[in-house]
């Protein structure tokens, strides 16, 4: 099946990423990594707001209490949207100034998982971290090239993870109570005719929705068979991530980058950097919140 995504807002994100749906308030949050912004769009009022931060920002997640948790170039911070203040938590890579955080999100036990990459994309300089609700942090994976999409199966028994240049999705057995992973295996291999796998989300049927950098689309993949089931076309090449949202959680929100190529040329494509939406036949899940 093929569908087309519609543009809902275009504030020209340089590198739009980490879409996160706040179900209670009908707000879609995302980050502009290179534009150093936290962005939000209220789907009910159509009001857009952005906060400029002073460094690269990889990803964000909602908190159980209030506000957001974010992974900045200088580590984990809380963000308070009412006064737009940032409070540092910890920086697991203070010794690696040539790295920045990239994609991440919370598991259903309220841990925030986020990974890093080298600013110049040097191979295998990144790691994947897990920040616990007690604010302790552990390194879970190392030798990661570009730490990207992460999600968990509906029963929380499997964690899926993408290291983009490896062009595959790996799965691990997931222990939700411990927040630990084991038994890595490849479940989806993205062939050369596709783009580079970037951010991802999962639907109620356990199928993976994977954004394709340089691929002009989001694909719906079956992690049991490795098969591509469905395609959502996006009218701009650098499709970065997606998440379920909307009143019935049957809309997929898609972020893109405002560059025309991964070489960093500024775009002439009027859609580049926009946020897109498509109605889906299956529902997704509400975003997990950080447990503090
Ligand atoms: C990163 C980009 C990278 C792209 C494709 C994004 O998540 O932020 O720097 O080029 O993935 O791998
Ligand atoms: Ca990404």
Condensed to tens digits (0 to 9), the pLDDT of residues 213-228 reads 999 999 999 999 999 9
> Which residue lies with its CA nearest to atom 1 of ligand 1?
102
- Are residues 40 and 29 in contact, defined by beta-carbon separation less than 8 angstroms? yes
Q: What was the pLDDT predicted at 266?
A: 60
Looking at all shown ligands, the one closest to residue 101's CA atom is: 1
The answer on pLDDT for 138 being more than 60 is: yes
Query: How far is residue 60 from each of residues 76, 181, 284, measured CA to CA in Å?
Result: 10, 22, 18
Give the HSE-up count for residue 13: Cα atoms under 13 Å, Cβ half-sphere: 37
Q: What was the pLDDT predicted at 1?
A: 83
pLDDT digits (tens, 9 = 90+) for 53-83: 999 999 999 999 999 999 999 999 999 999 9
Q: How far apart are CA 127 and CA 155, in angstroms?
A: 26
Phi, psi of 164 (to 5 degrees): -45, -55
Q: What was the pLDDT predicted at 265?
A: 56
Q: How far apart are CA 181 and CA 122, in angstroms?
A: 25
Atom number in ligand 1 closest to CA 17: 7
Q: How far apart are CA 57 and CA 100, in angstroms?
A: 8
pLDDT digits (tens, 9 = 90+) for 178-201: 999 999 999 999 998 999 999 999
Burial (0-12, 13-18, 19+ Cβ within 10 Å), 26: middle
Atom number in ligand 1 closest to CA 58: 8
Q: How far apart are CA 214 and CA 146, in angstroms?
A: 15
Q: Which residues are catalytic?
A: 198
Q: What was the pLDDT predicted at 267?
A: 57
Q: How far apart are CA 83 and CA 106, in angstroms?
A: 23
pLDDT digits (tens, 9 = 90+) for 231-287: 999 999 999 999 999 999 999 999 999 875 555 556 568 899 999 999 999 999 999
Looking at all shown ligands, the one closest to residue 238's CA atom is: 1
């Amino acid at each position: 099946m093929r569908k087309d995504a519609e543009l809902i807002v275009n504030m020209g994100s340089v590198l739009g990423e980490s879409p996160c749906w706040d179900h209670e308030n009908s707000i879609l949050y995302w980050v502009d990594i290179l534009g150093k912004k936290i962005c939000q769009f209220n789907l009910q009022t159509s009001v857009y707001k952005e906060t400029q931060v002073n460094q690269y920002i990889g990803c964000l997640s909602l908190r159980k209490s209030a506000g957001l948790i974010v992974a900045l170039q200088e580590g984990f911070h809380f963000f308070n949207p009412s006064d737009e203040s940032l409070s540092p938590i910890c920086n697991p890579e203070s010794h690696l100034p040539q790295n920045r955080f990239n994609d991440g999100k919370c598991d259903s036990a309220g841990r925030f998982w986020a990974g890093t990459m080298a600013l110049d994309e040097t191979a295998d300089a990144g790691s994947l971290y897990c920040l616990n609700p007690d604010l302790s942090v552990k390194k879970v994976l190392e030798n990661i090239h570009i730490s990207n999409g992460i999600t968990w199966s509906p029963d929380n028994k499997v964690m899926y993870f993408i290291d983009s240049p490896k062009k595959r999705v790996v799965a691990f057995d997931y222990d939700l109570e411990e927040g630990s992973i084991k038994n890595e295996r490849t479940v989806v291999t993205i062939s050369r005719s596709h783009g580079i796998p970037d951010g991802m989300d999962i639907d109620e049927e356990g199928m993976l929705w994977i954004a394709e950098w340089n691929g002009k689309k989001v694909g719906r993949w079956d992690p049991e068979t490795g098969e591509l089931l469905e395609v959502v076309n996006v009218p701009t090449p650098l499709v970065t991530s997606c998440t379920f949202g909307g009143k019935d959680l049957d809309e997929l929100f898609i972020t893109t980058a405002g560059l025309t190529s991964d070489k960093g040329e500024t775009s002439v494509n009027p859609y580049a950097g926009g946020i897109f939406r498509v109605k889906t036949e299956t529902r997704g899940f509400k975003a997990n919140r950080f447990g503090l």
